[in-house]
Amino acid sequence: MSNAIKAANTATRTHTGKVEKKEYMKHGWFWTILFALVSIAWIYPILLVVFNSFKQKIYISSQTFSLPNAKSWVGLSNYTDGIEKTDFISSFWWTVVITVGSVALILLCTSMCAWWIVRVDNWAAKGLYLLFLFNMIVPFQMVMYPLAKLTDMFSLNTPWGLWIIYLGFGAGLAVFMFTGVVKGIPSEIEEAAMIDGASVPRTFFTVVVPMMKPSIVSVAILETMWIWNDYLLPYLTLDGNKYMTISIAVQYLKGGYGAVDMGAMMGCLVLAIIPIVVFYLFCQKFIIAGVTAGAVKG
Amino acid sequence: MVTMIGKSIRRWWAVFALPTFAAFIIGFVAPFVIGIYLSFTKFTTITDARWVGFKNYRGVFSDPDFVHALIFTVAFTVVTTILINVLAFFVAYMFTRAMRGANLFRGVFFMPNLIGGIVLGYIWQLLLNGVLAHWGLSLTYKGIYGFWGLVILMCWQQIGYMMVIYIAGLQSLPSDVMEAAQVDGANARQTLFHVTIPLMMPSITVCTFLTVTNGFKLFDQNLALTNGAPSNSSEMLALNIYNTFYGRVGFEGVGQAKAVVFFIIVAVIAIIQNRLTTSKEVQA
């Protein structure tokens, strides 16, 4: 009897569920039009920078909101100026090297460390875990000055050295997220693999890593967003005469000398935004999943 | 029987745990410990540090710029936390109901998050200075202009991020509870305030925490938008600490003491937040 009611209930539920899906909200068009307008306003700041990047510099501050016209149009000269003044191409390259290297190293080392912490679970592992938790609440300004001195002292002031610094300072969140995942993986599977004669590293890479895949993608996205855009850490630690990142290059235009070259600035801003937009268009699904996972766990 | 595999894994500590741990010592533990020590000394480089006790800490609170930056940061954090969370929740609520184009709008709203703080700062400097120029003003005319400029920038950047978290929360609400409310005759507003929002408390605490800490730790945007101008009146805590270190010779010790105070504030917020998250969660 009660089963019959339950069955009936589920039937109506799926039924209404289907109907609701097709039925749009009341006043739906009003909201769609409203949000369409808001969305255009939302991307307007970026469009404004794009328009201005084609204008001669004196028109950028004086007529910010007018489209480029015959008088103010300068073609791509703002871009060439910007690239030349900041050495943008090499800044872009170093940003790629730092980001890709750091993220790869973080993923490899912290996933191994997280597995070790969860499976060993002795006092050392527990202490280590608490230290990583502590790391997540410490703001960068707390360690900024000694860290800059230490990187110089150990000659870690290169893009490769920064891989280690990012692994060290960014370990907290990655270890935390990975330990959460490993705790949910039953250890029997690994035991079976080891009994079958697999070594410890082999067990990790062929049995555990495939099961951690979704979280690896999430951590990769979160760390990439952080490291790609980070300004202060590379600015303080990198040897500024040899290496710059995109953020440092943009800030350099401002801080360099006297009046800011607004033309070159607009060119650089657009060049800085393009790779991010491309990345976003291709990985939107993973990025949103990564952000959600990070928020739930963090 | 974790011990059986635990034992064999433990022997591999040098491969599995040591690399992360070694980097962690260099990148975090050592600078942290040195930082605490340096806050009690007078120094220009790490090697010439001389012990001065609590003198630096007295210097922290007798610095009017620091006190101003603290008030500015707290006010900024309160305003942005409320604005961002209310707006992001509203947007997420609208987008999870059947609306044409919701997916596209969601993509647009999220996008600013991926752009770095420095670049964001200069984008908004162009726009806001362009608007203010109509009245012959600029962002650096008064501290209050920088304040609202930063608020607008932060809202633009973070609403999309929080929206994504709220959407995930709204989509995982138990459908039987929502239906029960409907069956009991609750209207949309009653359902929102008496069912949806209480059930959304975990998401709300996470987002509140993220916006509070992001507000407190804000640096790049502050540096790029106004750099504290005019005369440090739009300077936030992180920028104030940075300027004390690298802008005033002889104040490195005070700068480090400020950094410790800053750390303690952020840590206390995080701990309070953690308590709230675990106590306020409503079971469905």
How distant is the alpha carbon of residue B213 from its chain centre? 3
Which tens digits make up the pLDDT trace of B149-208? 999 999 999 999 999 999 999 998 888 888 888 888 888 888 889 989 999 988 898 899
CB contact under 8 A, B46 and A168: no
Q: Which two tokens stand for residue B39?
A: 């806050």
Residue A67 touches chain B, beta carbons under 8 Å: no
Which superfamily is assigned to A82-297 in CATH? MetI-like (1.10.3720.10)
- B-chain CB neighbours of A165 within 8 Å are 23, 26-27
CB contact under 8 A, A24 and B100: yes
| CA nearest to A232 within chain B | B220
Q: Which two tokens stand for residue A18?
A: 């289907």
User: What is each CA distance from A296 to A238, A281, B166, in whole angstroms?
Assistant: 34, 24, 11
Instruction: Name the residue among B114, B59, B13 with its Cα closest to residue A275.
Output: B114
CB contact under 8 A, B100 and A169: no
Looking up residue B97, the CATH number of its domain turns out to be 1.10.3720.10
Residues B75 and B177 in one domain: yes
Which tens digits make up the pLDDT trace of B127-165? 999 999 999 898 888 999 999 999 999 999 999 999 999
Output the average pLDDT for chain B: 90
CB contact under 8 A, A292 and B168: yes
| CA nearest to B133 within chain A | A62
For strand B41-42 and strand B50-51, is the pairing parallel, antiparallel, or unpaired?
Answer: antiparallel
For residue A159, the model assigns a pLDDT of 95
d(CA B159, CA B64): 33
Which tens digits make up the pLDDT trace of A10-62? 333 444 444 444 456 777 788 899 999 999 999 999 999 999 999 998 888 88
* Residue ranges covered by each domain of chain A: 2-52, 82-297
| CA nearest to B20 within chain A | A109
| Residue-level length of chain B | 284
The minimal CB distance from A43 to the residues B15, B98, B108 is found for B108
Residue A65 has pLDDT above 70, yes or no: yes
Q: Which two tokens stand for residue B182?
A: 């409907």
Residues B91 and B196 in one domain: yes
Q: Considering only residues 75 to 104 of chain A, which have any Cβ-Cβ distance to chain B shorter than 8 Å?
A: none
Residue B115 touches chain A, beta carbons under 8 Å: yes
* Minimum distance, in Å, between the CA of residue B78 and any CA atom of chain A: 19
For residue A57, the model assigns a pLDDT of 86
Residue A171 touches chain B, beta carbons under 8 Å: yes
**CA angle (B151, A232, A88) in 5-degree steps:** 100
pLDDT bin (cut points 50, 70, 90) of residue A5 is very low
Which tens digits make up the pLDDT trace of A72-102? 888 899 999 999 988 999 999 999 999 999 9
d(CA A221, CA A225): 6
* Minimum distance, in Å, between the CA of residue A143 and any CA atom of chain B: 5
The minimal CB distance from A128 to the residues B1, B17, B259 is found for B17
Instruction: Name the residue among A168, A135, A141, A174 with its Cα closest to residue A154.
Output: A168
Collapse the DSSP code of B186 into the 3-class scheme (helix H, G, I; strand E, B; otherwise coil) and give the result. coil
* Minimum distance, in Å, between the CA of residue B105 and any CA atom of chain A: 6
Which tens digits make up the pLDDT trace of B15-58? 999 999 999 999 999 999 999 999 999 988 878 888 998 899 99
Task: Please report which residue ranges of chain B form alpha helices under DSSP H.
Answer: 2-10, 13-16, 18-24, 30-38, 55-61, 64-96, 102-110, 117-132, 143-171, 175-183, 188-191, 197-199, 201-217, 220-225, 237-247, 252-280
Residues B228 and B276 in one domain: yes
For residue B278, the model assigns a pLDDT of 66
CB contact under 8 A, A168 and B5: no
Residue A148 has pLDDT above 60, yes or no: yes
For residue A17, the model assigns a pLDDT of 44
Residue A9 touches chain B, beta carbons under 8 Å: no
* Mean pLDDT for the stretch of residues B226-235: 89
* β-bridge mates for residue B108, sequence order: none
Residues B230 and B258 in one domain: yes
Which tens digits make up the pLDDT trace of A227-277? 999 999 999 999 888 899 999 999 988 875 557 888 999 999 999 999 999
Residue type, B252: E
CB contact under 8 A, B19 and A48: no
Residues B45 and B97 in one domain: no
* Mean pLDDT for the stretch of residues B89-100: 89
What range defines the domain where residue B260 resides?
A: 58-280
pLDDT bin (cut points 50, 70, 90) of residue A63 is confident
Q: Which of B70, B90, B109, B119 to mutate to test the interface with A (most CBs of A within 10 A)?
A: B119
- DSSP conformation class of B248: S
Residues B114 and B250 in one domain: yes
d(CA A267, CA B27): 35
Q: Considering only residues 84 to 103 of chain B, which have any Cβ-Cβ distance to chain A shorter than 8 Å?
A: 94, 97-102
Residue A32 touches chain B, beta carbons under 8 Å: yes
Residues B47 and B89 in one domain: no
Number of neighbours of residue B43 by Cβ within 10 angstroms: 17
| CA nearest to A237 within chain B | B27
* Minimum distance, in Å, between the CA of residue A162 and any CA atom of chain B: 9
* DSSP structure string for A246-270: HHHHHHHHHHSSSS--HHHHHHHHH
Q: Considering only residues 108 to 127 of chain A, which have any Cβ-Cβ distance to chain B shorter than 8 Å?
A: 109-110, 112-113, 115-117, 119-122, 124-125
- A-chain CB neighbours of B98 within 8 Å are 20-21, 23-25, 28
Residues B170 and B95 in one domain: yes
* pLDDT over 90 percentage in chain A: 60
Residues B8 and B101 in one domain: no
For residue B247, the model assigns a pLDDT of 85
What stretch of H or E contains A53?
Answer: none
* Minimum distance, in Å, between the CA of residue B181 and any CA atom of chain A: 14
Residue pair B51/B122 in contact by the 8 Å Cβ criterion: no
Which tens digits make up the pLDDT trace of B236-264? 999 999 999 988 888 899 999 999 999 99
Residue B96 has pLDDT above 80, yes or no: yes
Number of separate domains in chain B: 2
* DSSP structure string for A103-167: HHHHHHHHHHHHHHHHHH-SHHHHHHHHHHHHHHT--HHHHHHHHHHHHHHTT--SHHHHHHHHH
